[in-house]
Structure 1
Amino acid sequence: MWVRADWVVKVLERNVPSILWMARGMDLKIQRRLCSKPQEESQPQPRSRSTLRVPGHKPTDWEKRFLLWAGHFKKAEDIPETVSIETIRAAKTTLRVKFSYVMIALTILGCVIMVIRGKQAVKRHESLISINLEKKAQWREEAAQSTSAKP
């Protein structure tokens, strides 16, 4: 039984394409569709500004505060009437980072305080188990008193 050579090549191209491409001397970088961008997209293209984009943005009061807190301007009087959107975005990003640092510091401080308070409670021989047992004993006494008070 004879097999046609072109049929074998088609089957191999579908099942083992990289072997045939290497055998043919083709560049593998072009054929990796899912792993990399196509050649024409990988080169940076000059960005053109949209015609609808406003060259300057009048900042609101909150945006002015963001600009001050982020350190872009020293005083509120230094902020110009119009500021670029990129400057406001940069200020907001800076504030997000600063806020996350503050939250990390407060979390660590809270953990340290809770450890200290827990060690103090151990020195006083207080624990959740003893507190819960005392509450349950008190509830039993109240329940016993309420049942004995009813005639």
Structure 2
Amino acid sequence: MGTLRGLLLAAGSCFRLCERDVSSSLRLTRSSDLKIINGFCIKPQESPRAPSRTYSHRVPLHKPTDWQKKMLIWSGRFKKEDEIPETVSLEMLDAAKNKMRVKICYLMIALTVIGCIAMIIDGKKAAQRNQTLTRLNLEKKARLREEAAMNAKTE
């Protein structure tokens, strides 16, 4: 038991020494300006120069088509077509498209609910008139049997 414990302690101290050496060498390369790689010295890199040409973060503009102008008006972004500027940002057009999509979805939901209610009302009226699918199918089959019997008699 004692030898196993001694081996574990020795392995742990060896591991700590290796870890300390690795971390100190990493600290040395991070903090120094000169990096030593395979015995060669590399000059420190100069600080990056400021770009000679400054970039302004302008939003790209787009000349809207007639359809896009209508969408801008319908989405509520502008009141009249005269108020729409010559060029608009693509973000404004995307926002108008998204608003129109939402309005169209709400319209489709409302039409679906209205259609369902209309079908329920029509079905209840048909049930009051005793006009069910079962009765319609039985009448159709009886009519087809009569026609088949009439054709059999004439032939």
Q: Normalized against structure 2, the TM-score is what?
A: 0.62
* Matched position secondary structure for 1:126: coil
Q: Percent identity?
A: 53
Q: Which runs of 4+ in 1 moved over 6 A?
A: none
**Residues 38-80 of structure 1, C-alpha deviation per residue, up to 9 Å, x if partnerless?**
xxxxxxxxxxx899x8721011111111111101111111111
Aligned CA-pair RMSD: 2.6
Unaligned runs of 5+ in 1: 10-48
Q: Which of 140, 145, 151 is matched with 1:146 structurally? A: 151
Residues 1:137 and 2:142 are matched in the alignment: yes
* Shift in CA distance, 138/50, structure 1 to aligned 2, threshold 3 Å: farther
* Matched position secondary structure for 2:61: coil
Q: Which of 49, 71, 79 is matched with 1:74 structurally? A: 79
* Matched position secondary structure for 2:88: coil
Residues 1:126 and 2:108 are matched in the alignment: no
Aligned-partner residue type, residue 124 of structure 2: K
**Residues 97-131 of structure 1, C-alpha deviation per residue, up to 9 Å, x if partnerless?**
11111111111111111111111111101100000
Aligned-partner residue type, residue 111 of structure 2: L
Distance in structure 2 (CA, Å) of the matches to 1:133 and 1:5: 92
Who is 2:101 aligned against?
96
Distance in structure 2 (CA, Å) of the matches to 1:72 and 1:94: 10
Unaligned runs of 5+ in 2: 13-54
Q: Normalized against structure 1, the TM-score is what?
A: 0.64
* Shift in CA distance, 101/50, structure 1 to aligned 2, threshold 3 Å: farther
* Shift in CA distance, 147/80, structure 1 to aligned 2, threshold 3 Å: same
Aligned residues: 108
Residues 1:65 and 2:70 are matched in the alignment: yes
